[in-house]
Each structure stands twice: as C-alpha cells, then as structure tokens.
Amino acid sequence: MTSNIRSFIFIAVCLGLVSSFVGCDTDKGLEPLNTGISGKITYLSPELRPNDVGEVRLAALLKFPPAGLGDLFFSEPIDFRQDSSEYFLPLPPDDYQAVALLWRRNNENWSFNSILGLYGLNPQDGGVDLLPVSVPDNNEEVPGIDMTALWNFAGADAKVQGTISVSGTPPSDTEAVLVATFVITPDFDDFSTSILFLGGIPLPVTPGRSTLNYSMNVYSGSYQFLGLFWKGSSIPLEEMKCIGWYQLPGGSGEPGSVTIPRDGITRDIDFSADYSLLPNGIRP
C-alpha cells in the first residue's frame, strides 16, 4: 500500500464531496475573459479509454475541497481523441488551489468521481502534490499549466444500484454522506488503511432525504462490504462513521457480499441507515 495512491484517492474523494451540486450545467455566465491558464494535456493509456466518453473538461477550484459551485470554474469541452490537446481556461484573477481534469459518459451528468488527472499528478507513480495556480490581474493568460490524463482512472467497468432507507436527521455539522464499497470489511478505526480495497471512488449522496436512490460506478468483482458513511466537518475523512450497510438476508445483521459482473449492472442492493447512530456510528 503506497501513500501516493492513498493521496490520489483521498483527493478524488474530496472532489467527490461536491458532485451533489454539480449537474449538467457548467456555464457560470462569466463575461469574456483574457485572463486564465493554458497548457497541454497528454493522454496516457488510450487503449483504456471507455467507448462512451461524452466530454472532457478542466475544472479550476478556488478552494479545496470546494464549498460550493461558486468555487468552480469549468473549461469548454477539450479534445480527448488525440494523444494530446492544447487548452485555454478563462479565469478571473485569483489564486486557485487545484486544477482537475474530469470526464463524463454520454447521457450522464458531471461527477467528480470521474477524474482523469490533477495539476501536480506524477504519472510515474500516481503520487499527487497539488500545485496551486495564481492568475494575476494583468489581462494575460498563465501558460505552461501542463497536465497528464490517465485513462486507467476511468476503469470502473460496472455499476451497482439500490435504495437506502434513511432514518433520523443529519447532524448540523454534516459535511458529506458517501456510499462506498470495499473488497474486504474495512478498518472502522482508520479508513485510510482500507482505501486500496475500495471498489471505486465513493459516491456522495444528498443528506436529509429519507430515501436515497444510488447508482455507483465500480470495478467489476466481489465485494464484502457496501455501506453508507457520514463525515462531519470536525473529523478527518479517514475517521468517517458508518451509519448502515447492505446485510445478508434473514436479519442476522452480517454484511452481505455483492458480485458485480463486468459491463453489467447489479440492482436492488438495498439497505437501511440511521443518523441517530451518530456520533459513534456502527460496525459489524
């Protein structure tokens, strides 16, 4: 297990925290700008590019993790069918904490779970050292913001879907509620030790709803644990709390395993969760 891979997945999860308020509309209504960033995107492992890619865009983030849509600025669609592509992303003068490269499938909305690269990503080992970008107020662009896109990050080849019946009220300090699936039962004291066993980037869902219908992109295979996790603003991501999981039939309470076929959709993985189990959460 390497800290480099952990750091990338952690960053991707942080980006995923805002996917509940990022829909299909990426137009912020800005006046034409001469300021911004430009550079070259190099695509690696093109043989792993999914056949149903709809768009690729850049997103610049004023804050990381972003607190809302106002912290995000999107580029126009970027050519992804070549080995490399030049881009220009208009931005107001400011200091940006991260630049991410995102993709979406045809007929699907944008999600920060679909990430291809970050400015500061080392393609040799997957390590990430987020590099900030400063756009000065001089009516000029900042060149040389080059990035690498790794199509193997788009390797989730299956879906799992279901309904979560949620009881209770989310605490006032709720920062994120995530659906996550693991190859093994995770370490509930420190999720960073189990992060390499994730079936894909956890899926953020909207807190406060009594019924959550989820559809999560995952890697095909067998999973021993699928649950709903809560993160408060005062706790780190690796200490998020479980508030419910998919169980074996019969009412034993034991986690149920799920086998997800390649290029398939596993449906009806339904379970219950309860906010009243916080602040400690539950574990098997």
Query: 50 with 102, same domain?
Result: yes
Contacts of 104 (CB under 8 A, 6+ apart): 53, 54, 55, 110, 111, 114
The answer on 179 and 38 residing in a single domain is no
The CATH number linked to 99 is: 2.60.40
167/146 same-domain check = no
pLDDT value of residue 279: 94
Is 21 a member of any domain?
no
CA dihedral 126, 214, 242, 208 (to 10 degrees): 120
Same domain for 147 and 227? no
Q: What's the domain range around 200? A: 158-277
Quote the tokens at residue 109: 């909305």
Determine if the pTM surpasses 0.75: no
* Measured distance CA(91)–CA(99) in Å, rounded: 12
Kindly state whether residues 136 and 177 are assigned to the same domain.
no
Question: Do both 220 and 144 map to the same domain?
Answer: no
* 189 contacts: CB under 8 Å, gap ≥ 6: none
Residues 142 and 240 in one domain: no
pLDDT for res 113:
59
Q: Is residue 136 located within the same domain as residue 263?
A: no
Domain end: 154, 181, 196, which one? Answer: 154
What is the structure's pLDDT at 155? 76
282 in any annotated domain: no
Closest CA to 154 of 50, 266, 13: 50
pLDDT tens sequence for the chain (284 residues): 344 555 556 566 666 554 444 444 555 545 567 899 999 999 998 988 988 899 999 989 887 666 666 778 889 999 999 999 999 999 999 999 989 898 888 887 776 557 888 898 877 766 677 899 999 998 889 999 999 998 887 877 888 999 999 999 999 999 888 899 999 999 998 887 787 678 877 787 888 899 999 988 888 899 999 999 998 888 887 889 999 999 988 878 899 999 999 888 999 999 999 999 999 999 98
Domain assignment present for residue 283? The answer is no
- Assigned domain for 179 exists: yes
Three-state DSSP at 127 gives coil
> Within the chain, where are the H helices?
3-16
What's residue 112's pLDDT?
54
Both 73 and 188 in one domain: the answer is: no
